[in-house]
Amino acid sequence: MNDTGHARAVQDDLERRVQELAGPDPAASADLLADVLRGFVDSLPGDLAALAAAINDRDAQALREGAHRVKSAACNIGATGVASLSGELEGLGAGAPVGQLVEAMGRLRAEAETVEQAATGVVARLRG
């Protein structure tokens, strides 16, 4: 799948999750759902920085807890790629070779950028 196709698939996943969470009156929950998506996106830079620091410090507990937190939040909003990659980091733990952790972190950062762009579009539609 090319980058454009992947970005579209990510946005479709987020839209599908928003529809699931919206309930019987989507208009009534639009602002709340937009806030949830925006909160996830706003927290990502700090969460990713904390994961990178945990890798750098070889702090297994911080890596495991931080990756689990990102994975759970990503699952809640339908960001399946971020959830999967966070789960990979959680499973690898700080005992994995640094190169493997850095490579996984790079893939997570790239996917997080795609989610941020997609979520911005979904938020705009919800608030439109």
What's the confidence (pLDDT) of residue 55? Answer: 95
- Provide mean pLDDT across the span 13-37: 94
Percent of the chain exceeding pLDDT 90 equals: 89
What's the confidence (pLDDT) of residue 37? Answer: 97
Answer yes or no: are the C-beta atoms of 74 and 80 closer than 8 Å.
yes
- Per-position DSSP letters for 48-85, written without gaps between them: HHHHHHHHHHT-HHHHHHHHHHHHHHHHHHT-HHHHHH
Match domain 3-127 to its CATH number in 1.10.8.640, 1.10.287.180, 1.25.40.850, 1.20.120.160: 1.20.120.160
Reported confidence tier of residue 107, pLDDT bands at 50, 70, 90: very high
Percent of the chain exceeding pLDDT 70 equals: 100
Answer yes or no: are the C-beta atoms of 86 and 70 closer than 8 Å.
yes
What's the confidence (pLDDT) of residue 95? Answer: 83
Backbone angles phi, psi at 57, to 5 degrees: -85, -5
Res. 3: pLDDT tops 90: no
